[in-house]
Amino acid sequence: MHPFALFALLLGLPISSAARSVDLDTLTLPAGFKIAVYSENVPNARELALGANGTVFVGSRDAGRIYALTDADHHGRAERVRVIASGLEVPSGVAFHEGNLYIGAISRLFVLRDIEHHLDDPPKPEVVTDKLPTATHHGWKFIAFGPDRRLYVPIGAPCNVCDPGKDFARLISMQADGSDWRDVARGIRNTVGFDWQPGTKQLWFTDNGRDLLGDDLPSDELNRVTRNGEHFGFPYCHQGDTLDPEFGKGKSCQDYTPPVLKLGAHVASLGMRFYTGTMFPADYRGAAIIAEHGSWNRSKKSGYRVMTVRLDGDRVVSYQPLIDGFQHNETAQGRPTDVLVMPDGALLVADDLAGTVYRVSYSQPNSSTRR
């Protein structure tokens, strides 16, 4: 996050919703892939969720709004953008479950009941729980329902680096009614993206590394949960092999679970999903797709792209760009925040800087040219 935006968020000030236009011709994708605008006018677009009837829901950090995008003619572009909730506190997280839309907004989780039948007359948000911490630093949420039908909710560390105690730096799950909280994993600075691997149903998540250790330390992480309560190192050990200069004293990195993959320092890895469609080439199936929001604190920018992590079981085979070019000459024109696989196999990508959701599709190329 940009320093001013972080300062504003910590003070409870509004974050500017001014959007920038992205020149799609400057973006690079592998041969056969095409990117187009799915919807504009979605200020500060963050997490994406898909309704049973095809509605795309978008959380944001702009004026407390939740958006609903509809593509009635199924031509690959949303014709309507509706605001279905407003005035919430940084409602960046959205998850659709059994006809209802769940919303993560700092210390509260809300639900909009039977929302797809009430897009033009949305119900008042109903509180699921108001017991989450009130800290806004890393308090924004990415939420999702797991294969066990439980709602998974991260609670980020309320700091750049600190030892925040048992209430923070963790991922929890709960019943859909907000009851029966359980720890899933600890030692997580700030995860803003997670998904369950097809087949194994194991939970994988991104985690943002701390700041102020220089340009190249520590790396963001892609992690895999193998048992409940697993500890991933924060704030004692970073990237699986680097003790914190303050909080790592007397600790050993061997006592914590290392990442499956180091994603790079300060890339700001956010939303991630496993590709479950069939439109993309076969080697994308089962790959983890990660939105990298991009650094604000390096002498040379990193991130600002969408990456593909190909896997063989739990082993990383490759880590390569799917979309690059959201920044040129140290100037950003877009910042990816989340990805979502659509029923037809296309991939949606949210961009909070441009206030846009893109659609990435694939067709067999006629040549080896790249765009």
Tens of pLDDT, residues 314-359: 999 999 999 999 999 999 999 999 999 999 999 999 999 999 999 9
Q: What is the pLDDT of residue 280?
A: 98
φ/ψ region of 199 (left if φ > 0, alpha if ψ in -120 to 50, else beta) reads left
Look at residue 258 and tell me if it is in a domain. no
pLDDT tens per residue, range 161-180: 999 999 999 999 999 999 99
Look at residue 36 and tell me if it is in a domain. yes
Q: What is the pLDDT of residue 17?
A: 44
CB distance 308 to 319 below 8 Å: yes
User: What is the arithmetic mean of pLDDT over 18-44?
Assistant: 92
The answer on pLDDT for 2 being more than 80 is: no
CB distance 55 to 39 below 8 Å: no
Q: Report how far Cα 252 is from the mean position of its chain's Cα atoms.
A: 30
pLDDT tens per residue, range 221-238: 999 999 999 999 999 999
Q: What confidence category does residue 15 fall into, taking pLDDT thresholds of 50, 70 and 90?
A: very low
Q: What is the pLDDT of residue 16?
A: 41
Helix (H) or strand (E) holding 82: strand 80-85
Look at residue 356 and tell me if it is in a domain. yes
Phi, psi of 11 (to 5 degrees): -90, 0
Look at residue 335 and tell me if it is in a domain. yes
Look at residue 273 and tell me if it is in a domain. yes
Look at residue 256 and tell me if it is in a domain. no
| Token representation of residue 243 | 């003790």
Q: What is the pLDDT of residue 297?
A: 87
Instruction: Judge if pTM exceeds 0.85.
Output: yes
Look at residue 320 and tell me if it is in a domain. yes
Q: What confidence category does residue 20 fall into, taking pLDDT thresholds of 50, 70 and 90?
A: low
Q: What is the pLDDT of residue 4?
A: 35
Q: Report how far Cα 113 is from the mean position of its chain's Cα atoms.
A: 24
Look at residue 31 and tell me if it is in a domain. yes
CB distance 358 to 348 below 8 Å: yes
Provide the domain limits for residue 326: 18-41+268-371
Q: What confidence category does residue 28 fall into, taking pLDDT thresholds of 50, 70 and 90?
A: very high
Question: Into how many domains does the chain fold?
Answer: 1
Q: Among positive and negative, which fits the CA dihedral 339, 340, 346, 350?
A: negative
Q: Pinpoint the alpha helices (H) of the chain.
A: 3-10
pLDDT tens per residue, range 273-296: 999 999 999 999 999 999 999 998
CB distance 357 to 342 below 8 Å: no
